[in-house]
Structure formats: structure tokens, C-alpha cells
């Protein structure tokens, strides 16, 4: 009788844990090796487009996702100076009607807690900082331990040690975007007027668009919290930290001249809850597979958050990898199928995310490049349908 194939994941973020779920459902023996002493996600808000939701539907988790998600009613883009609407779309009904699944905003910690419950604790190995892997399927850790597996998957983020082991050391590229994040209880979002007398609600995804930055707000934690993301064109980033404490004064200085409605909301945030970080990406790779090792998510294709699709691409990778390995008796054929299917798709997303960063700085603002082809993609099918743009832009903004 054939032995159950062993799959080791290096990195226990949302992409890695989702891959573990999908692989276990197909009968693989799975272990997840995470460098942190506990499963934790940096940041607050996370946007899951219909393409990501279809994965959790296929995994039997959509009902649980609905309980922790906020589902915006409208997507609104506002002018940065006079607060007048530039674009409006019915996000809740429109997404389901056009793409066959809803669009959820969730708290990253809620999401990780939800999916981690779907795998046994015995699969998780915490405090395992990877020092390197080799193409034969082994990995070394800082505590002196080593593992061997039939396949090793690098799901360890933009500074992936697995990627470095396979393709050499290369510093990630600073994109020119510095960001702030904060959260606010919805009852504290008191000033909601538009320049023309209209209003928004905390059930909406709201974007203020200006030449030096975009501010994106949307409900998370079942609609109890308003997530605030501020993306700003910044100087060269030198701090190595993912997130460092910031201050209200620093945020206000970056958004001088923006409308008082938005700035008034900033003043309601607990001053200790502002954090900032620099956004880094890498050029697309020509391949992901080397021997028994492959990459997934930001380890393979990190991108700016301008499409709100970074997590969705990792989630799609997770399902596609499990499906491809299950469909092929030869694991190397399965890895080749996975790479052939996913690499062109994520390369297109990486390049469009860079393009969108440039478009966001245009004066006057240029229309967002369509994301319909992403939202319509269904990785749970072996031959997903292609989608032409309908011209409807559900502009929910950057992902953080």
C-alpha cells in the first residue's frame, strides 16, 4: 500500500494554514512550521474578494467566514479635497450577482483563528525559524532541528528564507509606499458628510483618493470596527520592522489638505493605535519549483496592496496546489501543473498592482484598472472561466 505523502509548510500565515486545510482534505500528511511562538497576524483589516471566498466555500468554511466578516453595502470613492463622490458601486449585491460570491472584510486575527481551528494542533510547530531548505525536501531550523518531507512549501512571506535558499539572496524592493493603519469602533465614526450633502455609513467601504495617497476605510469584525488604512507616497524606507508605532501628528502631516470629514475620523482614534510600515515587493519569478520545493503566496509573488488581492492570491495558491498534487500520481507533475497554472496569473496581478500604484498618483485621478478578471476567477475549478470587464469598478481600495 502506498505511503501517505508528507507535505511540510514553512510559514503559518493565512496562505500556509489554508494550504494545510486543503491538503489535509485530500488525504496528505501535513505539518506547518511557523517561526513565531504563536499564530498571529500583523495588521487588522483583510479584504477577501469573491475569488477568495470561493475557496473557503469549496473547503466548507463559508458559513464560518460569514460570521466574522463585514460585507460592505456600497463602495465609495471620494475626492480628497472637497469630499465629493468620484465613484459609487453597489458592492454587496453587485459582487454576488456578477461574480457568484460575496466580498468580505475581516480582521486578520479573526481570520487566522478561524482557519487554524480547522487543523489539529499536532500539525502546528511554533517557534520554528527556518534557516534554509534544500531541493531534496529537507529544512533546517534555528533550534537545531531538521525535517524531511516529500514536498516542502515556502509560505513564509516577502522575506522568505525558502525563496532565498532556492534562488539566492535578493533584497525586496521598496515600492515607494509607506502606510499607516488604525482601527476605530464604529460608534466613534461621527462625521459622515459628503461635500454635496450625501452621507456614508460604516456599512460602506469608503476611499479618499488624492495624488499623494489613498485612505481606505471599511467594516471588520462583523461590522463592529471600522478599519483605517492610509497608503502614502513616501521617501526611501529604512526601518526593517514590519510595523512600528506612529503618532496622530505624523499621520496628519502626511495628509495635509485632505477633507475635514476624513481628518475628524483620525482624531477619534486612540493615539496609541497608529502603526506604520513600508511596503515591499519583488519582481516576478520565472519559476517557483526546484526539486521537491515550491513557493506560495508572498514568498512567490509579493505585491503592493493597491488591488487588495495579496491575500486572495495566496488563498488561491493554497487550493490550487492541493488540487494539482491530488490530481497527479507523480508529485513532480503536480508541482509543474501548479506552477504552470498559477505563475502567469499571479505575475499579471503583481504587475497590475504596480501599475495601480502609479495610477493612484494621477491628477486628475484615472479610473482603476479593472479587477473583474480576478474576481471572476474560480480556482476550485480545473478550467476557470475567463471574464471580460463589465466596466463596473467595485473600488474597495488597498488591502491591509
Catalytic sites, residue numbers: 218
Return the SS3 of 141.
strand
C-alpha to C-alpha distance for 26 and 79, rounded to whole angstroms:
48
Taking alpha carbons only, the member of 152, 166, 162, 157 closest to residue 130 is 162
C-alpha to C-alpha distance for 133 and 11, rounded to whole angstroms:
13
Going by the DSSP 8-state scheme, the letter that residue 387 receives in this structure is: -
C-alpha to C-alpha distance for 98 and 100, rounded to whole angstroms:
6
- Grid cell in block for residue 288: 517557483
C-alpha to C-alpha distance for 179 and 157, rounded to whole angstroms:
18
DSSP string covering 21-85:
HHHHHTT-EEEEEESSSS---SSSEEEE-HHHHHHHHHTT-HHHHHHH-B--SEEEEEETTT--E
User: Cα 81 to chain center, whole Å?
Assistant: 29
How many of the other CB atoms lie within 10 Å of CB of 1? 3
Amino acid at each position: 500500500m502506498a505511503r501517505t505523502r508528507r507535505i511540510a509548510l514553512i510559514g503559518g500565515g493565512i496562505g500556509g494554514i489554508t494550504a494545510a486545510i486543503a491538503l489535509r482534505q485530500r488525504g496528505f500528511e501535513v505539518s506547518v512550521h511557523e517561526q513565531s511562538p504563536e499564530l498571529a497576524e500583523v495588521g487588522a483589516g483583510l479584504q477577501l474578494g469573491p475569488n477568495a471566498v470561493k475557496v473557503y466555500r469549496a473547503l466548507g468554511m463559508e458559513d464560518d467566514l460569514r460570521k466574522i466578516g463585514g460585507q460592505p453595502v456600497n463602495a465609495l470613492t471620494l475626492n480628497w479635497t472637497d469630499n465629493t463622490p468620484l465613484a459609487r458601486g453597489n458592492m454587496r449585491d453587485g459582487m454576488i450577482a456578477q461574480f457568484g460570491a460575496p466580498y468580505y472584510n475581516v480582521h486578520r486575527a479573526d481570520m487566522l483563528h478561524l482557519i487554524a481551528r480547522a487543523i489539529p494542533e499536532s500539525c502546528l510547530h511554533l517557534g520554528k525559524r527556518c534557516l534554509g531548505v534544500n531541493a531534496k525536501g529537507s529544512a533546517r531550523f534555528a533550534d537545531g532541528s531538521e525535517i524531511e518531507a516529500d514536498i516542502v512549501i515556502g509560505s513564509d512571506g516577502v522575506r522568505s528564507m525558502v525563496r532565498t535558499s532556492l534562488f539566492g539572496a535578493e533584497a525586496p524592493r521598496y515600492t515607494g509606499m509607506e502606510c499607516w493603519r488604525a482601527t476605530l469602533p464604529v460608534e466613534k465614526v461621527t462625521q459622515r458628510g459628503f461635500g454635496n450633502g450625501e452621507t456614508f455609513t460604516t456599512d460602506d467601504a469608503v476611499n479618499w483618493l488624492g495624488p499623494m495617497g489613498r485612505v481606505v476605510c471599511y467594516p471588520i469584525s462583523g461590522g463592529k470596527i471600522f478599519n483605517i488604512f492610509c497608503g502614502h507616497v513616501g521617501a526611501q524606507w529604512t526601518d526593517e520592522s514590519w510595523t512600528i508605532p506612529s503618532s496622530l501628528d505624523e499621520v496628519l502631516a502626511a495628509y495635509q489638505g485632505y477633507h475635514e470629514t476624513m481628518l475628524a475620523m483620525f482624531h477619534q482614534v486612540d493615539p496609541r493605535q497608529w502603526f506604520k510600515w513600508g511596503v515591499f515587493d519583488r519582481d516576478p519569478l520565472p519559476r517557483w519549483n526546484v526539486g521537491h520545493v515550491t513557493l506560495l503566496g508572498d514568498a512567490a509573488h509579493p505585491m503592493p496592496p493597491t488591488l487588495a488581492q495579496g491575500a486572495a492570491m495566496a488563498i488561491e495558491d493554497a487550493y490550487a496546489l492541493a488540487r494539482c498534487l491530488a490530481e497527479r500520481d507523480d508529485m513532480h507533475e503536480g508541482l509543474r501543473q501548479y506552477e504552470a497554472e498559477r505563475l502567469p496569473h499571479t505575475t499579471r496581478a503583481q504587475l497590475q498592482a504596480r501599475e495601480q500604484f502609479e495610477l493612484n498618483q494621477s491628477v486628475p485621478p484615472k479610473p482603476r484598472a479593472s479587477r473583474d478578471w480576478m474576481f471572476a476567477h474560480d480556482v476550485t475549478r480545473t478550467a476557470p472561466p475567463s471574464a471580460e470587464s463589465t466596466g463596473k469598478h467595485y473600488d474597495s481600495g488597498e488591502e491591509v
